[in-house]
Amino acid sequence: MIPEDLKYTRDHEWVKMEGGEAVIGITEHAQKELGDITFVELPETGADVSKGDGFATIESVKAASDVYAPVSGKVSAVNEELESSPELINRYPYGQGWICKINVDGDPGAEGLMDAEAYAQFLEENEQ
């Protein structure tokens, strides 16, 4: 299931634009690859992030993985529920498992971001 109303990165993050704010999380595919998530290091509220830079870390029983910013801006909110319940990312990667919100600098644009169809094709090509 790949929600149609989101944009996606090649690093398996998703973005949902709400006005000038981007809600960010990791995809169903990413959480399956990681396995049971045990810890999330969230960014600091107010931190400046640049597109492509790591801004959070997710640890699982298999590995630790960086989460890369799909847009540039300032962190406006973090999902504090993940501190006590990191498994929300496994259960609800596109809902309660969101990681943070970023007030986007200027026009977020879709440069480098894929729609659901392009992301599905990307996944198929990389499974072969």
Q: Are 31 and 61 in contact (CB under 8 A)?
A: no
By DSSP bridging, strand 48-49 and strand 13-18 are unpaired
Q: Per residue in 60-112, pLDDT tens?
A: 999 999 999 999 999 999 999 999 999 999 999 999 999 999 999 776 555 67
Q: Per residue in 77-90, pLDDT tens?
A: 999 999 999 999 99
Confidence band (pLDDT; 50, 70, 90) for 58? very high
Tell me the domains of the chain and their CATH numbers: 7-106 (2.40.50.100)
Smallest Cα–Cα separation from 30: which of 128, 102, 119? 119
Distance between alpha carbon 94 and the CA centroid of its chain, in Å? Answer: 9
